[in-house]
Amino acid sequence: MTPEERHQEDERLLVLNMLKEGKLTPDEADELLVAIDAAEVAESGTAPTGPDSGSAATAPSAPFTPPTVPVPPSAPSSPSPSSPPTPPIPPVSPDQTADPTGSGRRFGFSFGDLDGVQDDVGGAIRDALAEARDAINEGLTAAGDLARSTVRENRAAVRDAIRQSVRQAAFEARNAARAARIEARRAMQQARVEARRAAGSIRMHGGFFGSDISSQMVLSGDLKPGGNLVVQVPQGDIQVTGTSGNKVEVEAQIKVRARDGAEAHRLLSGTHVALSDSGKDLLLTAAAPAALGALGSKLWVDLEIQLPRGAGLVISTSHGDIGVDGTEGTHRIQVVRGDIEVSGASGHFDISAKEGDIELDRCTAQTLKLEGDHGDIESRFTPAGDGPFTIQTVYGDCEVTLPPGSAYDLEVSAVGGDVEVKLGGQCRPSSVTSHSWQGKVNGGGPAIKVSSIRGDIEVRS
Cα gap 377→412, rounded to integer Å: 14
pLDDT for position 53:
44
Cα gap 307→305, rounded to integer Å: 6
Among 95, 4, 97, which Cα is nearest to 45's? Answer: 4
Cα gap 279→370, rounded to integer Å: 28
Among 294, 289, 234, 217, which Cα is nearest to 260's? Answer: 294
Is the Cα torsion angle 157, 160, 166, 167 positive or negative in sign? negative
> To 10 degrees, the CA torsion angle through 405, 409, 415, 419?
30
Tell me the three state secondary structure of residue 89. Answer: coil
Q: Could you write out the DSSP letters of every residue in 134-187? A: HHHHHHHHHHHHHHHHHHHHHHHHHHHHHHHHHHHHHHHHHHHHHHHHHHHHHH
Cα gap 237→260, rounded to integer Å: 25
pLDDT for position 104:
45
Cα gap 461→451, rounded to integer Å: 18
End-to-end CA distance of the chain: 113
Contacts of 380 (CB under 8 A, 6+ apart): 360, 361, 362, 363, 400, 401
Q: Under a CB-based contact definition with an 8 Å cutoff, are residues 212 and 312 in contact?
A: no
Is the Cα torsion angle 79, 80, 81, 86 positive or negative in sign? negative
> To 10 degrees, the CA torsion angle through 306, 312, 318, 323?
50
pLDDT for position 60:
43
Cα gap 302→235, rounded to integer Å: 8
pLDDT for position 119:
67
**Could you list the pLDDT tens digit for every one of the 461 residues in the chain?**
677 777 778 888 888 888 888 888 888 888 888 888 887 777 665 544 444 444 333 344 444 444 444 444 444 444 444 444 545 545 544 444 444 444 444 444 455 555 566 667 777 788 888 888 888 988 888 888 888 888 887 887 888 788 777 867 876 776 677 677 667 766 776 776 677 666 555 544 444 456 778 888 899 998 888 889 999 988 889 999 999 888 999 999 988 877 777 877 887 887 888 898 888 899 998 887 765 554 455 778 899 999 999 899 999 998 899 999 999 999 999 999 999 999 999 999 999 999 999 999 999 999 999 999 989 999 999 999 888 999 999 998 999 999 988 899 999 999 888 898 888 767 888 888 888 899 999 888 999 999 999 889 999 88
Length of the chain: 461
